């Protein structure tokens, strides 16, 4: 046996020994149960209220999705100039309203004057909501209007901005004021925002995984040291694929399920993909087409 072969075998043996040792000592850190995530069947979350059926993030969209029987909403939030939390995705108003400029430069009163159905084109190619009085919705209005719904709240403002620095504390105070701790999930692409929110919430609210947490989980799953992964989120809301990595495998879903972490996939608008994900073990579908999703979901109730 050559010297290089002996070295390689020694390294391999050391790796196996390290794996076996860590496996014997480490125990999987299962996330504690959160009431908001205790559903006995897969669920449908209407993305921004179901943005292919009505203007996104408007009361019209939320009401239409609720009538279809969805289990909840997936929304984004931003802070206005006068520090009100509104349900809105983009940093600017240009794409969805008849206004222009950054959301953070407007007060809630100014935003209420804009037409939030101005640019919506329905499935028939019509501007069916223009001039119909659809306006901005605050998070408080949404939570009060739909007390039965699970609401996944994504903090969009960056932690490096003034508005982003205020959002975690203001969001917690609003959730606490409304007693909504057990019917919301709070997440952000910025893991720092979720961490800062949890400084106030103290694990009393279900937390979603940010980008770094997803990377960490997938790297742990793909290695031989998945048993060392210590999750910091209660639910993963992810796309089926990120870059070259497939996040929709049955194995990855089972890995997270073993840690008491359900997986929701976004943004899924065709029935065949929905069915594939549900068969793999997905616990939630985030969709712009709640009509399609609820038709399929009747088989899983």
Active site residues: 47, 89
Q: How far is CA 98 from CA 18, 115, 123, in A?
A: 61, 6, 21
Pair 83, 166: CB distance under 8 Å? yes
Longest CA pairwise span in the chain (Å): 82
Residue 154, beta-bridge partner list: 76, 187
Instruction: Return the percent helix, strand and coil in the chain, to nearest 5.
Output: 40, 15, 45
Closest by CA to 261, choosing from 187, 167, 172, is 187
- The contacts of residue 73 (CB under 8 Å, 6+ apart) are 45, 46, 48, 49, 62, 65, 142, 146, 149, 150, 151, 152
């Amino acid at each position: 046996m050559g010297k290089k072969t002996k070295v390689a075998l020694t390294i391999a043996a050391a790796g196996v020994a390290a794996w076996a040792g860590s496996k014997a000592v480490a125990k999987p850190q299962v996330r504690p149960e959160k009431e908001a995530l205790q559903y006995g069947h897969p669920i449908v979350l209407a993305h921004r209220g179901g943005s292919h059926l009505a203007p996104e993030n408007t009361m019209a969209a939320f009401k239409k999705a609720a009538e279809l029987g969805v289990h909840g909403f997936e929304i984004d939030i931003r802070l206005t100039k006068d520090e009100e939390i509104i349900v809105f995705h983009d940093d600017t108003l240009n794409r969805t309203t008849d206004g222009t400029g950054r959301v953070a430069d407007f007060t809630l009163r100014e935003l209420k004057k804009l037409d939030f159905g101005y640019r919506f084109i329905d499935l028939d190619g019509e501007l069916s909501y223009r001039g119909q009085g659809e306006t901005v919705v605050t998070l408080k209005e949404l939570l009060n209007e739909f007390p039965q719904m699970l609401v996944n709240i994504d903090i969009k403002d960056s932690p490096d901005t003034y508005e982003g620095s205020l959002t975690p504390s203001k969001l917690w105070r609003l959730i606490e004021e409304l007693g909504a701790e057990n019917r919301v999930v709070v997440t952000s692409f910025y893991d720092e925002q979720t961490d800062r929110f949890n400084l106030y919430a103290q694990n009393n609210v279900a937390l979603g995984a940010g980008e770094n947490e997803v990377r960490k989980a997938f790297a742990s799953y793909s290695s031989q040291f998945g048993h060392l992964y210590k999750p910091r989120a209660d639910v993963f809301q992810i796309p089926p694929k990120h870059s070259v990595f497939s996040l929709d495998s049955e194995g990855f879903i089972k890995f997270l399920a073993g840690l008491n972490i359900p997986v929701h996939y976004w943004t899924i608008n065709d029935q065949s993909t929905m069915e594939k994900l549900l068969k793999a073990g997905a616990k939630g579908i985030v969709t712009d087409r709640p009509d399609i999703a609820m038709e399929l979901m009747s088989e899983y109730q």
